[in-house]
Chain A
């Protein structure tokens, strides 16, 4: 029979004390700008978020730093990109009797969101140490190269189509695919163990390949 002595003693003065002020000193030493969101104009609040989204876009286009995109995740960028792509790619059902075989708005939307969730879940199941929304955020922001390739393809489609222009579109969308995969690998590749990197990167590549296939196949 062992006896453990559990001391449930507290420090002598146990009443909670403190001051009801904004702990400004705490935020400043983390390197964040010091601001008070309560009494600033609404324009500044919105512009700050827009700027944050813009900075993340820049990181995707020039993927150098690894942690910045993940540290403060948001889903605004992915939402904007996904909605834009779904609008551009959707089936133009001008003719009532027959659709042109392209995906519907909701189908593109579902492919992007469910697809990025499945890819994230896959890397979580493989034992990756990254939070769910961080990964969804990074995957969503990395849609930017494919969105740019979609815009270029739409511009090319304005001209009369030749084989050369088809191969140009193919090249553009493949470049978008490679770029997106490369950027997301930089952001997410570190979260896996050494022997499993390929297993985690392959679904990411497949995800962007499918989206690039939608981009190249889209003709109106």
Chain B
């Protein structure tokens, strides 16, 4: 310790007044700066990263790249998909196949492009075709469209797409078998993967909502069953690896399919279905009128 010469720290920390213009005497003195590369551990990596920064894909492709939440790059990694990827994922969400490469790729590289735009499209598909269905059911002379279906559909869909994956994730956290955590820590899903899987599973309801405008009762219910079972089975297939870890896998799978079916049935009944009870509700005032009128007539006839 005695060998070290005493550094005048106080002097170094003081604020100095530097002249704003470069005066010639100061600038003429060359400054020696020690650049010891060993002091910077990631010097090489840093330099390489700089060199590759032209290709923005490189930095996005790294799966473990940690970026600040408030930068564009952080969100760009969720939109790092090509047309082909989205196309394949949509097809994969309709057809239940045993091909697991797509599912593993989806878990490794979950995107938010598909879920977001599928949700928006579904909202407006329901709003447009719901209005058409309403028009077809309408019997009175004047019909006005209802813009505010958009609000109801948006609420329902965004609730479904966020709350269900969150609940599923929380349930998985709670009910996971304790032995398996040590064996497969990477198997534990994160919320983003679940939202991605759920978002793509909603795609089938877009063509279904267009076809729901056809006012045939059994066809509407058939569409509900077919679409919910198709995408529900894909949902179960892609979640099967995750559900295996849970203690309550049967209950969870039943709940997942149940909610999916409930969503489809809810859409159909609320936005597209001609209420069969409408005849009874229109009958009520008539019968009430009759009931009220009869005593009057009776009383008049008595007079």
A-side residues, CB < 8 A to B, are 1-10, 12, 14-15, 100-103, 107, 122, 124-127, 195-199, 202-203, 206, 209-210, 213-214, 217, 219
Q: In residues 218-271 of chain B, which contact A (Cβ within 8 Å)? A: none
CB <8 Å contact, A124 and B72: yes
CA distance A162 to B301 in the complex (A): 49
Chain A residues within 8 Å of B57, by CB: 127
Name which residue of chain B comes closest to A193, CB basis. Answer: B82
Which residue from chain B places its CB closest to the CB of A108 in the assembled complex?
Answer: B147
What 15 new A-B contacts, CB under 8 Å, besides A2-B36, A103-B147?
Answer: A1-B34, A4-B35, A6-B32, A9-B30, A10-B27, A102-B147, A124-B72, A127-B56, A127-B79, A127-B80, A196-B82, A196-B83, A197-B83, A203-B117, A213-B127
With beta carbons under 8 angstroms apart, the residue of A2, A122, A202 that contacts B37 is A2
Q: Which residue of B lies closest to A126 (CB)?
A: B79
Q: Could you show 18 A-B contacts with beta carbons less than 8 Å apart?
A: A2-B34, A5-B30, A5-B31, A6-B33, A8-B29, A9-B28, A9-B30, A14-B21, A101-B148, A102-B144, A107-B147, A125-B76, A127-B56, A199-B82, A206-B121, A213-B124, A213-B127, A217-B145
The reply on B113 being an interface residue by CB < 8 A is: yes
Residues in B with CB closer than 8 Å to A198 are 83
Q: Report the Cα distance A213→B129, complex, angstroms.
A: 11
Contacts of B29 in A (CB 8 A): 8
Which residue of A3, A12, A107, A195 is within 8 Å of B24 (Cβ)?
A12
Residues of B within 8 A of A103 (CB): 147
Taking chain A's interface residues, is the majority helix, strand, or loop, or is none over half, making it mixed?
mixed
For chain B residues 106-135, which have a beta carbon within 8 Å of chain A?
113, 117, 120-121, 124, 127-128, 131
Q: Residues 62-84 of chain B: 1 if any A CB is under 8 Å from the residue's CB, otherwise 0?
A: 00000000001001101111111
Is B146 an interface position by the 8 A CB rule? yes
Number of interface residues of B (CB under 8 A): 41
Contact A206 B117 (CB under 8 A): yes
Which residue of B32, B36, B127 contacts A5 across the interface (Cβ within 8 Å)? Answer: B32
Answer whether A199 and B86 are a contact pair too, CB < 8 Å, given A122-B79, A217-B131: yes
Q: In whole angstroms, what is the CA distance A209 to B81 when docked?
A: 24
* Assembly CA distance A126 to B75 (angstroms): 9
Interface residue from A1, A10, A199 paired with B81 (Cβ < 8 Å):
A199
Q: Does B16 contact A (CB under 8 A)?
A: no
User: Is the pair A219, B27 in contact by a Cβ cutoff of 8 Å?
Assistant: no
Residue of A nearest to B75 (CB): A125
**Which residues on B sit within 8 Å (CB–CB) of A101?**
144-148
B22 interface residue per 8 A CB criterion: yes
Closest residue of chain A to B80 (Cβ to Cβ) is A127
* A11 vs chain B, min Cβ distance (A): 9
